[in-house]
A = this chain, B = another copy of it.
Amino acid sequence: MFELLKTDSSSRARLGRLHTTRGVIDTPVFMPVGTQGSVKALDPRELREMGTQIILGNTYHLHIRPGMDIINAAGGLHRFINWPHPILTDSGGFQVFSLAKIRKIKPHGVEFRSHLDGSLLFLGPKEAMAIQRALGSDIAMVFDDCPPHTAGPRELRGAVDRTLLWAKECREQPRASGQLVFGIVQGGADASLREACARELVAMDFDGYAIGGVSVGEPEPELMKAVETTEPFLPAHKARYAMGLGTPAQLVELVARGVDMFDCVLPTRVARNGTAFTTRGAVSVKAGFNKADFRPIEEGCECYACKNFTRAYLRHLLNVNEILGLRMVSVHNSHMYLKLMADIRGAIATGTFAEFRREFVANFVPSRKILTAREESR
Interface of A toward B, CB cutoff 8 Å: 36-38, 40-45, 61, 65-66, 69-70, 73-74, 80-82, 291-292, 294, 304, 308-310, 312-313, 316-317, 319-320, 322-328
List 19 interface pairs A-B (beta carbons < 8 Å), by A numbering: A36-B320, A37-B313, A37-B316, A38-B324, A41-B323, A42-B324, A44-B308, A61-B320, A65-B319, A70-B292, A74-B294, A74-B312, A74-B313, A80-B312, A80-B313, A82-B309, A323-B326, A323-B327, A327-B327
Q: Could you tell me if A38 and B308 are in contact, using CB atoms closer than 8 angstroms?
A: no
This protein's copies in its complex? 2
Smallest CB-CB separation from A325: which chain B residue?
A: B38
Give the distance in Å from the alpha carbon of A320 to the alpha carbon of B34 in the complex.
12
Q: With A292-B73, A294-B73, A323-B326 known to touch, is A312 a contact of B38 (CB < 8 Å)?
A: no
Q: When the two chains form their complex, are residues A38 and B322 in contact, meaning their CB atoms are under 8 A apart?
A: yes
How distant is A65 from chain B, measured CB to nearest CB, in Å?
5
Which residue of the partner chain B has the closest CB to A69? B292
In the complex where A66-B291, A292-B73 touch, is A40 in contact with B322 (Cβ < 8 A)? Answer: yes
Cα A82 to Cα B40 with chains together (Å) = 24
New A-B contacts (15) at CB < 8 Å, excluding given A43-B328, A327-B327? A36-B316, A36-B317, A37-B316, A38-B322, A38-B323, A40-B324, A41-B323, A43-B308, A43-B324, A44-B308, A45-B304, A61-B320, A65-B319, A70-B312, A70-B316
Provide the bound-state CA to CA distance between A135 and B113, in Å.
55
Closest Cβ of chain B: how far from A134's Cβ, in Å? 15
Asked if residues B38 and A310 are in contact (CB atoms below 8 Å), the reply is no
Please give me the residue from chain B that is nearest to A44 by CB atom: B308
Q: Which of A36, A38, A81, A326 has the most CB of B within 10 A?
A: A38
Interface centre among A73, A313, A319, A326 (most CB of B within 10 A): A313
**Complex interface: chain B residues within 8 A of A45 (CB):** 304
Cα-based distance from A74 to B82 in the complex (angstroms): 39
Query: Smallest Cβ distance from A25 to chain B, in angstroms?
Result: 23
Could you tell me the distance in whole angstroms from the C-beta of A239 to the nearest C-beta in chain B?
A: 29
A20: min CB distance to chain B, Å? 22
Chain B residue numbers with a CB within 8 Å of A308 are: 43-44, 82
A328–B45 CA distance with the chains assembled, in angstroms: 13
